[in-house]
Amino acid sequence: MKPTGVFVRGVGAWTPLGSDWPSSFERLCEGESAIAPIESFDVEGFPTRVGACITQCRSPNEDPRVVLAVRAAREAWSRAEIAVQPGRIGIFVGAEAGRPVFSAAAELAAACTEGDSFDQGRFARAGLRRWREVRAGWDSPAAVASRLASELGATGPVQTVSLACASGAMAIVAAVRALREGVCDAALCGGVGADVDPFTLAGFGLLGALSARGVARPFDARRDGFVLGEGAAMMVLARERGDSSVEVCGLGCSSDAYHLTAPEPSGAAARRAMSTAMREAGVDRLDCVQAHGTSTLLNDAVEAASLREVLGSNCPSTYVSSVKGALGHPIAAAGAIGFACAAQAVASGIIVPTAGLTSIDPDCALRHVTGQAVHQTVESAMVNSLAFGGANCSIVLRRCS
């Protein structure tokens, strides 16, 4: 039985290249990069000193994830021009846990490490002094979805997906499934990441995942790791088409069940996600793929090999690009921003390039978009998310006349 149609009714985003989706997309098309020196905290001693940051989202009194997500959600909802009863609106958000201000965390750590035992009183007093910077809600992945439900007055299902850099894409999958099952009539979905901070920079640095040169260049022969980014992309999906020209028609999910940080080298599970999405969509070829393309050595090579096998003889005609060369890696927002690019390609026939890609690695040989955007009719597109932990997600979109 053919799945119930789900249509893209509105897109909103706040990225390091623009505070809304049109301005972000325009600069992505020009091949611009938002990667720059980090100025929001002292980066002395860190493994890299650059990132794709959004400094305007940070204030002492607001969770930056909420600031980013709310603006993107308002934009998406206003563009959707849809009227749905509150109980029929679902909220599905990909988000990781937030973090307090680094100096506050350091003070709290110092408060409980003197002597041989934990001093609850000293810890509590230190927390009271820094309460504005150590709010419990800021640590919760669910805080963003709850706030978005309040913003829209949505009383339908609410769900948070925390699955590393597949979070945003898997939240969209959850929304599509809920719409197909009739659980809701419209869904606000997407992902948000505000991770250019000392904790994340140190953590990924210890893993050896960050570019030592401070350059993101997916699929390039000189790539040496990713650059941290941040941002939010939110979509309004609905069972009613309205004037939408983009349908979400194929979903594929799998797990490597292999390693916490490394992809399974054969790419078998990644291929299964891609082929499942294409099979459900009823397509055997694609006009473009918005790749996961992190700029890490193994991930890019595995994804490229998987695409060549899945696409087969149609691979040479399929354009491939990754926005991480321009925006860095926004972790939980990555799949949602990729989805926005794929939806825009189907709607407008504009495929964004991969910034930083100038010398294609032979192991990553595909029809890459470099320099500036490609303009052509796009009947079908796929977005990939291949996350740490081996969570793989592929989504196929197609043009509806």
* Domain identity same for 226 and 288: yes
Q: What is the pLDDT of residues 27-73, one digit of tens each?
A: 999 999 999 999 988 899 888 999 999 999 988 778 899 999 999 99
pLDDT beyond 80 at 345: yes
Q: Provide the annotated active-site residues.
A: 165, 292, 329
200 with 326, same domain? Answer: yes
Q: Is 172 inside a domain boundary?
A: yes
Closest CA to 210 of 338, 46, 45: 46
Boundary (domain end) residue, out of 111, 134, 157 = 134
Kindly state whether residues 65 and 124 are assigned to the same domain: no
Q: By C-alpha distance, which of 175, 139, 143 is closest to 336?
A: 175
Question: What is the Cα 200 distance to its own chain's centre?
Answer: 16
Give the domain range for residue 111.
102-134
Asked whether residue 338 falls in the same domain as residue 395, the answer is yes
pLDDT over 70 at 129, yes or no: no
Are 313 and 359 in a shared domain?
Answer: yes
Query: Could you tell me if residue 1 is inside a domain?
Result: no
Are residues 113 and 159 both part of a single domain?
A: no
Domain of 334, CATH number, reads 3.40.47.10
Q: Are residues 239 and 335 in the same domain?
A: yes
Q: What is the mean pLDDT of residues 101-115?
A: 63
- Give me the amino acid identity at 337: I
What pLDDT digit, counting tens, does each position of 242-285 carry?
A: 999 999 999 999 999 999 889 999 999 999 999 999 999 999 99
The candidate with the shortest Cα–Cα distance to 354, out of 272, 291, 285, 280, is 291
In this predicted structure, what is the pLDDT of residue 358?
97
Q: Do the domain assignments include residue 115?
A: yes
Domain count, the chain: 2
Asked if 297 and 384 sit in the same domain, the reply is: yes
The answer to whether residue 72 sits within a structural domain is yes
Does residue 393 share a domain with residue 317? yes
Are residues 238 and 315 located together in one domain of the fold?
A: yes
Q: Please state, as a whole number, how many other Cβ atoms lie within 10 Å of the Cβ of residue 97.
A: 14
